[in-house]
Structure 1
Amino acid sequence: MVTPPLLHLEAVARAVRLPDGQTLEILRGIDLTVYEGAHVGIVGRSGTGKSTLLNILGLLDRPTAGHMLWDGAPTDRMSSRTASTTRGAQIGFVFQQFNLLPGRTALENVAHPLLYGTATDVRTRKKRAREVLEQLGLGHRADHVPNRLSGGEQQRVAIARALVRRPRLLLADEPTGALDVDTGRLVMDLLTEAAHASTAALITITHDPAIAARADRRFTLEGGVLT
């Protein structure tokens, strides 16, 4: 039996209506197939549709044309509740701005997504969060709040938070954009290793060709077209 792709996009487009009545095409004819365990790198400059594509991949938005399948199921038939549940349980996000809760410790930040999981997730959240922090070399920093952590450590906490629910898809949006080159290289090493260890698909969206070059498959997004 052939395993279906985790994501399959066919001729996906996204357009918005402007106040003057004209239509702005943000994405056009996007074709993309991603299997579990794959690492895909997408390079694009600001304004090329990167955020819009990430929102569609992460079930935060829907195409205005074309089709997207999540694990073989058409996303245009998903209710908002199903999309939200799927996103929370199966998709992890890593952003350029770490988006950590400022008054919470690293352990509390990582455990936070599990509060919206099953009863077992809630009950074991601190144990699971500590395990992931230790895997990323931050066990000794678990009780520190974000402003006591370096930029690289904060990004590793953000990665741990994305991994804690064992997602099938990791979406990394400019994950090294706020870091120096050496720290960014270390963070990408950890992110790639963590994805491979969990068999999650990893899609990295970046303006940096060197970051995208670390992926198994590389694409360019220019003028809303993926090549």
Structure 2
Amino acid sequence: MSRPEPTAAETLLSLRHVSRSVPIADDQLLTILADIDLEVGVGEHIGIVGRSGTGKSTLLNILGLLDAPTTGDMEFAGEPVQKISRNRAAAIRGRDIGFVFQQFNLLPGRTAVENVEAPLMYATGREFRNRRRSAEAMLERLGLGDRIEAKPNRLSGGEQQRVAIARALVREPKLVLADEPTGALDVETGRQVMEILDGITKDSGAALITITHDLGVANMATRQFSLSQGCLHPVLDGATAEALAGESR
């Protein structure tokens, strides 16, 4: 059963009538996202599914404060995004948003623990001083305590994605954005990785937004949405499989 939309007090991320357009030839605009409304609660898991070319990457960039809406209003933890500077947006990303990607994006010459430490290099005070201990503890939580000194070429695909998850979570972000997190994995490994990601974000209280074409991955979320022709549609109870299947073909 889907969870209802969060109340104002529970809301972490809010998009109201958000659109994104880019200029093309002859002073024309191409609308990539149109009139997006989305409320994400603290600790909630949202699944967004859609085909390639529907605006998934653009939406991810806006949710992660990597890009700004052309029109509409967006708030992160009660702070209006349109009014903040680039430096402030970068600070929020570094502190409060974790990213998990399809291709892992690990530093090839660094060990697992060094990869997880990387976000903490921008921390200060105790968080910076304890970076090694924090990275090791997060890898332990993900079942990689015996692999902390292994470099990516010595890790399986599933292990590499778990290192990437550890890196995304090591600063205890408020929001985790997962972009096709199982796309480079086989079905069983992908299921295991998603169970780990879903469980550890629940334990930490972080909200999780998973953008995917995989119905099984989307159905792990508390609420599901389909993205089609730049528009975001909630998927209602009883229609999940049919609606999501139509978007993922």
Q: 1:26 — aligned with what?
A: 32
The reply on whether 1:210 has 2:216 as its aligned counterpart is yes
Asked if the contact 1:133–1:157 (Cα under 8 Å) also holds between the matched residues in 2, the reply is yes
From 166, 174, 182, give the equivalent of 1:176.
182
**What RMSD over aligned residues (CA atoms) do the two structures have, in Å?**
1.1
Cα distance between partner residues in 2 of 1:23 and 1:78: 25
Gaps (5+ residues) in structure 1?
A: none
1:76-101 C-alpha deviation (Å, 9 max, x unpaired): 00111100001100000000010000
Asked if the contact 1:97–1:178 (Cα under 8 Å) also holds between the matched residues in 2, the reply is yes
Alignment of 1:16-165 (within 5 A): 16-165=22-171
The TM-score with structure 1 as length reference comes to 0.98
1:29-81 C-alpha deviation (Å, 9 max, x unpaired): 00000011100000011110000000000000000011101111110001111
1:157-195 C-alpha deviation (Å, 9 max, x unpaired): 000000000000000000000000000000000000010
Asked if the contact 1:115–1:121 (Cα under 8 Å) also holds between the matched residues in 2, the reply is no
What amino acid sits opposite 2:166 in the alignment?
Answer: A
**Identical-residue share of aligned pairs (%):** 60
Task: Please state whether the residue corresponding to 1:98 is helix, strand or coil.
Answer: coil
What amino acid sits opposite 2:33 in the alignment?
Answer: L
What amino acid sits opposite 1:38 in the alignment?
Answer: E
Task: Please state whether the residue corresponding to 1:141 is helix, strand or coil.
Answer: coil
Moved over 6 A (4+): none
Cα distance between partner residues in 2 of 1:52 and 1:99: 19
Q: Give the drift of 1:20.
A: 3.2
Single out whichever of 172-181 and 64-73 deviates more from structure 2.
64-73
Q: Report the count of equivalent residues.
A: 227
What amino acid sits opposite 2:150 in the alignment?
Answer: H
The reply on whether 1:193 has 2:199 as its aligned counterpart is yes
What amino acid sits opposite 1:180 in the alignment?
Answer: D
